[in-house]
Amino acid sequence: MIPKVFKEVIDLGDGREISIETGKLAKQAHGSVVVQSGNCMLLCTVVSNYKQSDVDFLPLTVDYREKFAASGRYPGGFFKREARPSDGEVLTMRLVDRVLRPLFPKDYHAETQVMIQMMSHDEDVMPDAMAGLAASAAIQLSDFPFECAISEVRVGRVNGEFIINPSRAQLAESDIEMMIGASADSVMMVEGEMDEVSEEEMVEAIKIAHEAIKVQCAAQVKLAEAFGKKEVREYAVEREDADLAEKIKGMAYDKVYAIAKNGSSKQERTSAFAEIKEEVKASFSEEEIEDYGDLISTYYHKAEKAAIRNLTLDEGLRLDGRKTTEIRPIWCEVDYLPSTHGSAIFTRGETQALATVTLGTSREANKIDMPSFEGEETFYLHYNFPPFCTGEARPLRGTSRREVGHGNLAQRALKGMIPSD
């Protein structure tokens, strides 16, 4: 029996279209769509456990993968199994995550997974620009508690003309490249790079992108209505105990305020705050601790946050003793490492960066081999954030998404100053 398919088509205004389809694939998922533009097809599935996780945050995982089969290719190298994500895929995961995450309720803690897979590739379509649309459309078909539809588009400008979701060839000629994430009502995320442009030109680009996003959000709502919008699931909301919150604030607030005002070092502050927290916990019996669960820690941290915030608002002081008009002390040193091509230490307050630079030939270029793009980078920047940087000891499990994202941010900031040859 042929399944019933529901479909909405979005007109980009220049002869191109994006379609959103559901009903054919991944029926066991809580929501699934296929988003297509030209020959590029993305399958997005979303699943969220019905049982709340025993954590105080949303365990949301956004995964984006490009299949080599989508472009009729084999993975390079000896191993042919597609395994860990590339840096490009990780960056797309972060783009989607940062727009979706704030739209879930703060007390929704169920394990949630958004999976986006490029199943077919088109040379004239950049798939990452449709990933946010696919994720939001799939969520709209689910019963997740989610505030509203969103989408993301890339905006470029070639010869003075703005283009929504330009091709890679058009992007090479563009003096603006921005990814915009937004709902129908407000812009939520802006990321990109550009040549020197005026503030008015940048705002115009954001407005044009937002107008395109409004159309995409409306299409998602229309598709969900045609498919049959599900009732939002019920979930266990966080307990509230106003009396307990007030009691803990009374025990902790003044002590935290005094330590915060003292202007001590980060290690001293951290140790002192931990002692206050333990004092608060020690004032409760084992039965009360078991009954209240995580509420004691939650209300302590709220009291701590309020004290530190009010110190800044009321007295204009920050944790390290600075006024709001003062910056942390800065010192720098170059040529710190004798055997590198270049090195520098940059220190601001208790934050340090040790940077090295290495010059090489064209053979050292970073080869990029993705299903949607093949090329090379002659300038690349790697960022590492080991656990000792924050005084922690935790397992090292490869490069984190955060390290990839922050390294890319610094790379994009610097590459305009590096000669292309």
Indicate which CATH number applies to the domain containing 347.
3.30.230.70
pLDDT digits (tens, 9 = 90+) for 257-273: 999 999 888 889 999 99
Task: State the residue range of the domain holding 309.
Answer: 242-315
227, 250, 278 - which closes a domain:
227
Please, are residues 205 and 162 in contact by the beta-carbon 8 Å criterion? yes
Residue 235 resides in a domain: no
* Whole-Å CA distances, 340 to 73, 265, 331, 335, 360: 39, 32, 21, 8, 12
Q: How far apart, in Å, are the Cα atoms of 29 and each of 49, 66, 265?
A: 11, 20, 49
Provide the domain count of the chain. Answer: 3
Domain contains 32: yes
pLDDT digits (tens, 9 = 90+) for 147-191: 999 999 999 999 989 999 999 999 999 999 999 999 999 999 999
Handedness of CA 102, 103, 107, 111 (dihedral sign): negative
Residue 398 corresponds to which tokens in the numbers above?
């490869």
Does residue 233 lie within any of the structural domains? no
Q: In what order do the strands lie in the sheet with 342-348?
A: 330-334, 342-348, 351-357
Is there a single domain that holds both residue 109 and residue 202?
A: yes
Q: Give yes or no: residues 342 and 291 share one domain.
A: no
Has residue 8 got a pLDDT over 90?
Answer: yes
Average pLDDT over residues 365-376: 85
How much is the average pLDDT of 85-102? 95
Q: Are residues 218 and 112 in the same domain?
A: yes
Q: Answer whether residue 289 is part of any domain.
A: yes
Do 115 and 205 have their domain in common? yes
Q: Is residue 1 part of a domain?
A: no
Residue 320 lies in a domain: no
Is residue 236 included in any domain, yes or no? Answer: no
Judge whether residue 375 has pLDDT over 90.
no
Same domain, 247 and 200: no
Q: What is the per-residue pLDDT for 357? A: 96
- Picking from 192, 227, 262, the residue at the C-terminal end of a domain is 227
Nearest-angstrom CA–CA distance, 30 and 273: 43
Residues 154 and 30 in one domain: yes
DSSP reduced 3-state for 16: coil
248 and 182 housed in the same domain: no
Residues 182 and 121 in one domain: yes
Please give the Cα distance from 381 to 142 (Å, whole number). Answer: 39
Q: How far is CA 105 from CA 57, 109, 148, in A?
A: 10, 9, 11
Domain boundary among the residues 227, 261, 291 is at 227
- Same domain? 361 vs 296: no
Model confidence over 19-75: pLDDT tens digits? 999 999 999 999 999 999 999 999 999 999 998 888 888 999 999 999 998 988 888
pLDDT confidence of 81, banded at 50, 70, 90? confident
DSSP state of 74: P
Summary mean pLDDT of the chain: 92
Q: Is residue 402 part of a domain?
A: yes
Q: Are residues 93 and 223 in the same domain?
A: yes
User: What's the pTM value of the predicted model, to 2 decimals?
Assistant: 0.89
Question: Are both 139 and 80 inside the same structural domain?
Answer: yes
Same domain, yes or no: 257 and 362: no
